[in-house]
Amino acid sequence: MIKAQEIKKSFLVSLWFMFLTFPIMVIRVNPIEKFVEWRWKNMLVVGIGSFLLSFVWRYMLKKKEAGEKRAETGESGKTFLIQRILEERRFYIPLVTGLTIIAVAFPFIFSMYQTSIMTTALMYIVLGLGLNIVVGLAGLLDLGYVAFYAVGAYSYALLNYHFGLGFWSVLPIGAVLGFIFGVLLGFPVLRLQGDYLAIVTLGFGEIIRLVLENWNEFSFGPSGIANIDRPGFFGIQFSLQTASIYLYFLMIGLVIFTIIVVNRLQNSRIGRAWIALREDETACQAMGIDKTRTKLRAFALGATWAGMVGVIFAAKTTFINPASFTFLESAMILSIVVLGGMGSILGVIIGALILILLPEYLRAFSDYRMLLFGAIMVIMMVFRPQGIIANIRRTYKFNE
């Protein structure tokens, strides 16, 4: 049962939070009209909310500690339902067939608007999987991932504007440009330690955005580039409706392609080198792995996907400007990876679907979207750093 001491603790917490949020939540000033608005209702909400949440918080902390102790004594915890499903063929095959049918039928059942949202979610899946190579596998915290996305988008927009190049010819160019930028930016910074790397990539991301915003002759500044061609199919141009369905299937294809590539990479020599590097750099070097080159590969391969999705983004919206490539975008992709589970492909997919689709369908919460992303990042790190679906380490079992 809940003891009196617990209640007292929670009461103090709620008092503290009421004090803490007092100026920001309760008072709102309008300095121009010299008007002050008092919102005492908010204080009540904060008080009650923090009172209840502090119970949940302590319960979760206790549960986590118990879990850690269990892990230390060597008792293996129960495997999760999802992992079991993945391992057994009996469940696995009908599941995949079902998903395929839903994916194919989706644009024909639902409206164009729904299809467009789904396409966006699929784009974020690919971005998440790309960033997952860098953050999840190689353990390099890249906060400027959106810069490569911008490179892809602008390369299509500019090549289309100046030379009239089509979508299909720019898609590989965007990927290659993403790769080149990844190498160029990665080369000088990858010698740095983890947290410095985060800041430098953040700085690079901002530099690219600021240059796009200010260099009017090159990128048309904040007004952006409009009327970018939609993708065609061997010279056939589609109507708006067909084009969105076409893009949807394109994205489905790209997602499948990405999953296959990332999965193969993960289990290859280079993928194992990334994981080893993430776990212990020194030991990894002692095993004869070239640290810089391996990191650079992860960085550049991650950037390649961002470049590709950037091209698709430009083709989908037909209008781009630097405002689409802020730090918040990087943070959003990062929270997809963190929520889903760093290093886990299935986790990233689920993370992207949750984080992109949920705010779309819960319109009431769309204002709170970024607030939620921030909170998710903190809560996941505190209680479940491995994400919703933890990456299963490949182990060799000895069957007698």
Residues that bind another protein (CB under 8 A): 16, 19-21, 23-25, 27-29, 31-32, 34, 36, 42, 61, 135, 139, 141, 143, 188-189, 191-196, 198-200, 202-204, 206-207, 210-211, 214, 282, 327-328, 331, 334-335, 338, 367-368, 370-371, 373-378, 381-382, 385
Q: Name the minimum Å distance from CB 96 to another protein.
A: 32
- With residue 283 as reference, give the H or E element that holds it: helix 281-286
Q: Name the minimum Å distance from CB 371 to another protein.
A: 4
Q: Name the minimum Å distance from CB 70 to another protein.
A: 16
Using CA atoms, how far apart are residues 57 and 207, in angstroms rounded to an integer? 39
The helix/strand/coil state of 166 is: coil
Given the complex with another protein, which of 88 and 367 has the nearer CB atom? 367
CA distances from 176 to 6, 66, 153 (A): 58, 48, 13
Q: What's the DSSP call for residue 238?
A: P
Q: Name the minimum Å distance from CB 396 to another protein.
A: 25
8 Å CB contact between 303 and 129 = no
How many CA atoms does the CB half-sphere of 159 hold within 13 Å?
A: 20
- With residue 194 as reference, give the H or E element that holds it: helix 194-214
Q: Name the minimum Å distance from CB 163 to another protein.
A: 28
Given the complex with another protein, which of 61 and 260 has the nearer CB atom? 61
Q: Which residue has the tokens 């084009």?
A: 243
* Torsion sign over Cα 334, 335, 336, 340: positive
Q: Name the minimum Å distance from CB 188 to another protein.
A: 5
Using CA atoms, how far apart are residues 262 and 128, in angstroms rounded to an integer? 11
- With residue 313 as reference, give the H or E element that holds it: helix 291-317
Using CA atoms, how far apart are residues 201 and 128, in angstroms rounded to an integer? 17
8 Å CB contact between 37 and 28 = yes
Given the complex with another protein, which of 274 and 373 has the nearer CB atom? 373
Helices 240-266 and 269-279, interaxial angle, to 10°?
70
Given the complex with another protein, which of 146 and 200 has the nearer CB atom? 200
Given the complex with another protein, which of 8 and 28 has the nearer CB atom? 28
Q: Name the minimum Å distance from CB 292 to another protein.
A: 13
8 Å CB contact between 319 and 226 = yes
Given the complex with another protein, which of 191 and 394 has the nearer CB atom? 191
Given the complex with another protein, which of 20 and 104 has the nearer CB atom? 20
Q: Name the minimum Å distance from CB 380 to another protein.
A: 8
Q: Name the minimum Å distance from CB 161 to another protein.
A: 23
Given the complex with another protein, which of 105 and 328 has the nearer CB atom? 328
Close Cβ partners of 181 (under 8 Å, ≥ 6 residues apart): 147, 148, 151, 303, 307
Given the complex with another protein, which of 154 and 246 has the nearer CB atom? 154
Using CA atoms, how far apart are residues 178 and 308, in angstroms rounded to an integer? 8
Burial 67-95 (b: 16+ CB within 10 A, else e): eeeeeeeeeeeeeeeeeeeeeeeeeeeee
Close Cβ partners of 339 (under 8 Å, ≥ 6 residues apart): 347, 351, 354, 355, 376, 377, 380, 387, 388
Given the complex with another protein, which of 98 and 188 has the nearer CB atom? 188
Q: Name the minimum Å distance from CB 213 to another protein.
A: 9
Given the complex with another protein, which of 19 and 80 has the nearer CB atom? 19
Q: Name the minimum Å distance from CB 223 to another protein.
A: 15
